[in-house]
Structure 1
Amino acid sequence: MKRTLLFTIALFIGINNTKAQTAPPSDLGTIKQNFKKLNVLGSVLYIAAHPDDENTRLLAYLAQEKHYRTGYLSLTRGDGGQNLIGNEQSELLGLIRTQELLAARRVDGAEQFFSRATDFGFSKNPEETLKFWGKDKILGDMVWVIRQFRPDVMICRFPTTGEGGHGNHTASAILAQEAFSAAADPKRYPEQLKHGVTVWQAKRLLWNTFSFGNVNTTSEDQFKLNVGGYNPTLGESYGEIAAESRSNHKTQGFGSARQRGDAFEYFKTILGDAPKTDLMDGVNTTWARIPGGAPIGTELATVSKSFNDDEPSASVPALLKLLDKVDMEFGRDKAMQTVRLRPEAVEDYTYWHKQKTKELKDLIAACAGLWFEAYAPEQSYAVGDKLDLRAQMFTPFALPMSDMQISVDGTVLYLNIPDNAFVLSPGKLSTEQLRPFTLKKITQPYWLEAPHGIASYVLANDTLAGPPENTDAPTAKFEFTMDGRKLAYYRKVMYKYVDPARGEIYQPLEITPPVTANIAEKTYVYNSAVPQVIQVKLKSFTNASGSISIKPIAGWKITGAANFADKKKGDEWTASFTVAPTDGKSNTANLDVVVTANGKTFSQGLLNIRYTHVPAITIFPPAQAKLVNIDLKTAGKKIGYIAGAGDLIPDALREVGYDVHQLSENEVINGDLSAYNAIVVGVRAYNVNQRLAYQQPKLMEYVKNGGNLVVQYNNNNGLVTKNLGPYPFQPVNQRVTTEDSPVTILDKDSPVLNYPNKITQDDFKDWIQERSVYMVSNIDPEYKTPLQMGDPGEPQSNGSLIVANYGEGRFVYTSLVFFRELPAGVPGAYRLFVNLLSKPPKKEGVGYKSK
């Protein structure tokens, strides 16, 4: 049976984050925090390699206690990490982890940035990382972010000396050191200076030293901060905020306990002046930072002191006057004409003018109780179609407003100037129907718009680097005059609806191709010239007519084509094609589906990802599948599968003809397991399934009675039982990360290398990302170890595959990354994994006798 259409798999469950309104918070606690933040002109940029590398307690302290503009630059989106909650891998996992980081930042108050680098998997040294990433491009992205963000202090999570334990970690520190100086050098990346940034020199670069496990890089002679304080305005300590923030990294299993009380962070100065008493030593973080700005700070303090909790709107007139004063004192022309500053000092003027103007406008809206949003009646629309939006506005207070104008992406959709007056009645919601506008661009994440390699994404231009999401998503601009002052506010256009069980729900707007094409399988594996039927599921997002076809492929015969007409929005249908190799040669090819709709050509599918802790994710991957023609023999058909942390191996096995059944706990403990030719335990199952400790005796009994049990890799930490097999062995944190590392066959007569497929060196060609993770050591002599491998320049290990006969059956444990290789259609990985599933009949068996 073919597996479910991959690109339409989704968990349709409640999404907590989408219940939030599009407007920023306006509660009293937020207002008071924002008053304090307005009086601070300082910024800190934290730098590391992956999502979850960041120090959330420090970020919360910097953003919420010190009120600095605080950012986290994660060089990657965590694409190569493990997935504890689902089976998404690679860029799909990166999409989820991007949203996990944004959810974390909403809690701790920092901002989020990225480079174009991908997490290509575990790397043992920075040289490998920098070679894969392409050092110059990633360094350029960091310089671009620094020149835009203009941090006074930069902090890296890891050192350049390797204590971080991961090549990506060390590389992030190496790049941070070089970027610290490169951002200030006009000769480095001069092309950036043509796009609205200037050079920038941070005051210092610090290493946030740490104590992880057995590695302690802190010492009492280092500069330290107590970041464990309590914030009475927020009603939480920074340890509590940090735990809530970090617990958003659910794919990595980083749920954290709330911590209270003193907590010290230590810092070692890498570049620049060392701090003595304060992180910002030598940096003026008051309004006096700007010549002539000190009176603004004084006036702001007066407005803040007079703030009335029971009547926040009473502060609006004073804040509007303060906004006028900020514009008057802070403009670029003012700086250049009256202060005679160096060009970089003028840029400091304009930078802080932009930041503080936005903060001040948001504070005015919060005190005024102003609320705006623009929403669509449906979630999905085809590019080129027109969208009818509704805008809503509300304030609980009587406020004089005039010259109301609403536009989306520069197009005016609403204009109301009768007698130059527009009044929002206090306490009354105003709803306006906007003029329709044409949707111009598909909402594909900008880093996925072009095909990419293993190490970095391809950007249309270098200035796109940095933002976590698309910056060109449809956005409504609300402009009006209040008390003689022109104001403008921006709100992202969302889809809003009411769910009977969950209440009001907000989801991102989806702008789609007119018709999407989802191929039923990601990979089609052939071991003969017998044709396979390839089904393509079509979905129309507009009224459409056209055709669907498959591009010709050398060495393959394709039969079928389909026209469609008068399809309506929401229509779904299936087109079928027959595909077969034209010769017996082993080969691989890409199959591309082309859709012509309303005279235009598209070749994109539809993928929805739904989890409770992040907003809905929708992307449009290439309408493409992989064809693999291999010499593959199979033995036995019925496979039992015990799910682990999530992988696609059951789907891959079904693709080559296996009947795969996912086993429940009741079936393992009480069922007849002898019906299965083999039972496979999914990746990290002994880390995530507490009940496996109780199922283990039945699995060992299954083996002893003649069964074939194949256990895939587990993390060495957090095992639910130490007795993973019939004889002792121990998973350890040892990997072979180079995917083309040489493999030595130690036992050419091993059944797992001979039945039903003869495994040779050719079967280890074209593997992706890595060979083996969390290999095993302390291996009992009862196990046979048919393979040996290791990264270049490192000791060879036989811990990637161990096999033992136990009773009448066979036990296999493997740390080879089949969970990556099979979905990618790697021929040799298929052949070897099928062998692991296939216990030879006794009369054909070669090698081991049962104990």
Structure 2
Amino acid sequence: RVYGTRLYFTRAADFGFTKTADEALKVWGDEVLEDMVRVIRTFRPHVIINSWGGVHSGHGQHQASGILTPKAYAMAADPNAFPEQIKEGLQAWKAESLLQISRGDASGGFAIPVSEISPLWGKSWGEIGIEGYLNHRTQGVGGIRSSPFFRRAISLVAVEGEQASKELLARKFAALSQKYVQPGWEDRAPSYEGSLVRLVEEVDPLLEKARQAALALDWQECSNALLEALGRIFGERWRSVKRFGGEIPKGAAWDLYWAEDNIRAALAKAAGVRVDARAERSEVAAGESFVVRVEAGCRSGVKWEVKEVDLLAPDGWDVKKVEGAAAGQWQFSVLARNGADASQKAAKWILAEEGALLWARANVWVGDGDFFSVYAPVVATRMTSVSAETRPLLLVPAVTLTVEPKEMVVISGGNRKSEIRNQKQTEREIVVRVRHYATTGEKITVGIEAPQGSGEWRVASGENGKNKVAAQTADASTARTEQMLEFAGAGDQLVRFTVRASARIAAGKYELKAYAKRADGEEFRTSLEPLVTLPTRMWSEPAVARVHVMDVAVPKDLRVGYVAAENDLIPQALREIGVHVELLDEAALAFGDLSKYDAIAIGIRAYELRS
């Protein structure tokens, strides 16, 4: 949001500082290279910049990134590399140039003007970069503003392909000038490329005309020029389909869509087309219906009109228009049918933000029966007395579960000495928050499942957070206990379970799994919670409490004073194995008697956050 870039993720494990690239590559495996190739084939860049190329010291993960980038550049162009991506519909993509950053004055390189002041933003590009970098919470950002590292000159040097230059980095409609010589197209490609060259010659003057009109604030003239450019691109795409027997090269089709979408976005801004589509709630469960309201219109200086609005929904959903809305407004009733899939689609995790679940399409009429369409995602607004958040529309499970605590420690039976062997050392309490997203009332069975057939765990039920347990069942063979909850509609309830490890349990890791069941047997086993640092985004994981059974002997009455910072789970883990832990605040450190402790422990990041 600060840089103005598109962000993609890989499956690289950020496991902390490492001094060698070999260690990073070993942990990452082949998945990271596969993800990098996927991003290149998805975004289809003309220039790839290797930020860490030629780096042979320092952070091993930086070195590994510099090693993998040239490989991804080459493999993205090879249709035999990661063929499953080709089967999904992605195409091999050959970037024109692979550049490498040189931090300093590089002979023969292209110096990036980071110190120039942007006439639009009133800041240098380097200052804008630093503002964005300050949002990287794990990078030790305290001294960045004054760091000479971020004020050094930066150059781009070509590793493969065309040399870095201003012309390479800022070209008009570069995508439409690509070569489309693909297998089976050798005889037709020259003719097709010629038509694309002519198209560029027709469209570029229209875009320049639109730019000049925008600078003069003549939005009608700007919109007219963009509309004509959009018509040329759209027309060429359909003429190409007709000319080549119903198909065109996939690379060319992608580029024509790309140009069309960009011109359409510029046209919507020039004409001041406003499409505001809002659902009555942000989370929708399969089988539930909800209302979407849309407002749409154009700026007053443009003599066009939004006459039609509809919703684009996933397959199997029902959308019905509700009559009686006021002028410039539309209302729809939407049903997400039972069986609608809330799972992640292939490789959606590479995106910083998922695509919208539901879209509103507004048709803007420009006279003589012509129109163009503008699309807007359907969102929802969540309001409190102090805030208003815009959230994406999400298809969620009807029931989710959040388990606390997620991690526990237990001493194995062999080290439960008489002085600490008591019920508190072997027994743990688990609280499950059950969130019911469905708006219709129903009874939900909630349970905890210990490792099947282990005989090493006993699970007992407690009381839920609002009333007595309505019903419970136990199955000794699976160490399973269930409770019954009744929901009148959407809402949360808490249930409590007590689990106890047997005296003969062996050291190791165990999972206690929470689940919820509907009357028809449908099960739910995942959580769904907002990210702490980005509350408009949701995070899902299995509803599991992990128990670490450790073979450790703890001295009697061991006392530890602990200086904790934020989100430090170690004090609780120490208590669970029988250590007497007291948290030391500022007053305790200044005036307390520290001699009563056998040890003083300094917690994670305490020197930074409790300096």
Scaled by the length of structure 2, the TM-score of the pair is 0.78
Residue 61 of structure 2: aligned partner? 168
Residue 363 of structure 2: aligned partner? 480
Residue 318 of structure 1: aligned partner? 225
- Counterparts of 1:423 and 1:573, CA distance in 2: 43
Residue 202 of structure 1: aligned partner? 95
CA contact (8 A) 2:401 2:514 kept: yes
Give the superposition deviation at 1:610.
2.6
Give the superposition deviation at 1:571.
3.5
1:515 aligns with 2:399: yes
- Counterparts of 1:641 and 1:309, CA distance in 2: 66
Give the superposition deviation at 1:298.
0.7
Residue 608 of structure 1: aligned partner? 530
- Counterparts of 2:56 and 2:510, CA distance in 1: 41
1:249 to 129, 136, 143: 136
- Counterparts of 1:406 and 1:286, CA distance in 2: 31
- Counterparts of 1:465 and 1:519, CA distance in 2: 24
Give the superposition deviation at 1:556.
1.1
Distance change >3 Å, CA 360–CA 584, structure 1 → 2: closer
Residue 464 of structure 2: aligned partner? none
1:119 to 3, 14, 38: 14
What is the CA deviation profile of residues 320-373 of structure 1, one whole-angstrom value per residue up to 9, with x for unaligned ones? 2221122123x17528839x9x97xx4453233222221222222222222223
5 Å-filtered alignment, 1:557-576, equals 557-560=457-460, 561-568=481-488, 569-576=490-497
Report how many residues are paired.
546
1:525 to 405, 409, 415: 409
Identity %: 25
- Counterparts of 1:400 and 1:584, CA distance in 2: 73
1:375 to 278, 285, 288: 278
SS at structure 1 position matched to 2:2 = helix
Give the superposition deviation at 1:258.
9.0
Residue 603 of structure 2: aligned partner? 682
CA contact (8 A) 1:401 1:424 kept: no
1:432 to 324, 331, 342: 331
- Matched AA of 1:667: A
Residue 265 of structure 1: aligned partner? 154
Distance change >3 Å, CA 645–CA 228, structure 1 → 2: farther
- Counterparts of 2:210 and 2:53, CA distance in 1: 44
CA contact (8 A) 1:227 1:263 kept: no
Residue 577 of structure 1: aligned partner? 498
What is the CA deviation profile of residues 400-426 of structure 1, one whole-angstrom value per residue up to 9, with x for unaligned ones? 2333222333546354899xxx9965x
CA contact (8 A) 1:493 1:509 kept: yes
- Matched AA of 2:548: V
CA contact (8 A) 2:506 2:549 kept: yes
Residue 188 of structure 1: aligned partner? 81
1:334 aligns with 2:240: yes
- Matched AA of 2:403: I
- Counterparts of 1:238 and 1:352, CA distance in 2: 29
What is the CA deviation profile of residues 25-81 of structure 1, one whole-angstrom value per residue up to 9, with x for unaligned ones? xxxxxxxxxxxxxxxxxxxxxxxxxxxxxxxxxxxxxxxxxxxxxxxxxxxxxxxxx
Residue 24 of structure 2: aligned partner? 129
Higher relative contact order (CA 8 A, sep 6+): 1
Give the superposition deviation at 1:279.
4.2
- Matched AA of 1:488: S
5 Å-filtered alignment, 1:488-567, equals 488-502=373-387, 504-527=388-411, 528=416, 530=423, 531-541=426-436, 542=438, 543-553=441-451, 554-560=454-460, 561-567=481-487
- Matched AA of 1:364: L
CA contact (8 A) 2:307 2:364 kept: yes
SS at structure 2 position matched to 1:112 = coil
Distance change >3 Å, CA 313–CA 620, structure 1 → 2: same
1:591 aligns with 2:512: yes
- Counterparts of 2:427 and 2:173, CA distance in 1: 70
- Matched AA of 1:300: L
Distance change >3 Å, CA 381–CA 332, structure 1 → 2: closer
1:144 aligns with 2:38: yes
- Matched AA of 2:159: I
1:388 aligns with 2:294: no
Structure 2 unpaired stretches of 5+: 179-195, 461-480
Distance change >3 Å, CA 578–CA 273, structure 1 → 2: closer
Give the superposition deviation at 1:532.
0.9
SS at structure 2 position matched to 1:356 = helix
5 Å-filtered alignment, 1:19-34, equals none
SS at structure 1 position matched to 2:352 = coil
1:223 aligns with 2:125: no
- Matched AA of 1:545: K
SS at structure 2 position matched to 1:679 = strand
1:239 aligns with 2:139: no
Give the superposition deviation at 1:481.
4.1
1:404 aligns with 2:309: yes
Residue 71 of structure 1: aligned partner? none
Distance change >3 Å, CA 333–CA 142, structure 1 → 2: farther
- Counterparts of 1:288 and 1:603, CA distance in 2: 51
- Counterparts of 2:71 and 2:172, CA distance in 1: 22
SS at structure 1 position matched to 2:526 = coil
Distance change >3 Å, CA 380–CA 157, structure 1 → 2: same
CA contact (8 A) 1:242 1:258 kept: no
SS at structure 1 position matched to 2:548 = strand
What is the CA deviation profile of residues 684-725 of structure 1, one whole-angstrom value per residue up to 9, with x for unaligned ones? 322344xx3xxxxxxxxxxxxxxxxxxxxxxxxxxxxxxxxx
- Counterparts of 1:417 and 1:574, CA distance in 2: 44
What is the CA deviation profile of residues 725-771 of structure 1, one whole-angstrom value per residue up to 9, with x for unaligned ones? xxxxxxxxxxxxxxxxxxxxxxxxxxxxxxxxxxxxxxxxxxxxxxx
- Counterparts of 2:101 and 2:289, CA distance in 1: 51
- Matched AA of 1:174: I
SS at structure 1 position matched to 2:530 = strand
5 Å-filtered alignment, 1:592-671, equals 592-598=513-519, 599-611=521-533, 614-632=534-552, 633-636=554-557, 638-644=559-565, 646-671=567-592
Residue 71 of structure 2: aligned partner? 178
- Counterparts of 2:514 and 2:608, CA distance in 1: 40
Distance change >3 Å, CA 145–CA 400, structure 1 → 2: same
Residue 73 of structure 1: aligned partner? none
- Counterparts of 1:125 and 1:262, CA distance in 2: 27
Segment drifting more, 174-183 vs 579-588 = 579-588
SS at structure 2 position matched to 1:108 = coil
Distance change >3 Å, CA 222–CA 540, structure 1 → 2: closer
Residue 192 of structure 2: aligned partner? none
Give the superposition deviation at 1:119.
1.9
SS at structure 1 position matched to 2:163 = coil
- Counterparts of 1:679 and 1:262, CA distance in 2: 42
- Matched AA of 2:604: V
- RMSD of the alignment, in Å? 3.6
- Counterparts of 1:365 and 1:424, CA distance in 2: 20
SS at structure 2 position matched to 1:230 = coil
Give the superposition deviation at 1:515.
3.1
- Counterparts of 1:658 and 1:392, CA distance in 2: 61
Distance change >3 Å, CA 366–CA 615, structure 1 → 2: farther
- Counterparts of 1:673 and 1:315, CA distance in 2: 75
- Counterparts of 1:651 and 1:601, CA distance in 2: 32
